Amino acid sequence: MSEMKVCLNCNRSEEKTPLIVLTFKGETKHLCAQCLPILIHKTHLLAEKLPGMEVTAHE
């Protein structure tokens, strides 16, 4: 049985929305297109879900 693929941020499955595959620290994660701007512009909001991620200060 394969693992269900869901968005790292909003938990929507690949049955509901297309998912983008990411790798971080050797692990595969998925992110939907709607949550991609969070990864780009508000990285700090994903820090809990990606332990060890470097978060830079915002101005």
**Residue ranges, the chain, pLDDT below 50:** 59
What DSSP character marks residue 6? Answer: B
Which residue type, as a one-letter code, is found at position 36? L
Which residue type, as a one-letter code, is found at position 21? V
Read off the pTM: 0.81
Joined together, the tokens standing for residue 23 give 């790798």
Rounded distance between C-alpha atoms, residue 18 and residue 52, angstroms = 26
pLDDT at 3: 83
Domain borders along the chain are 1-52
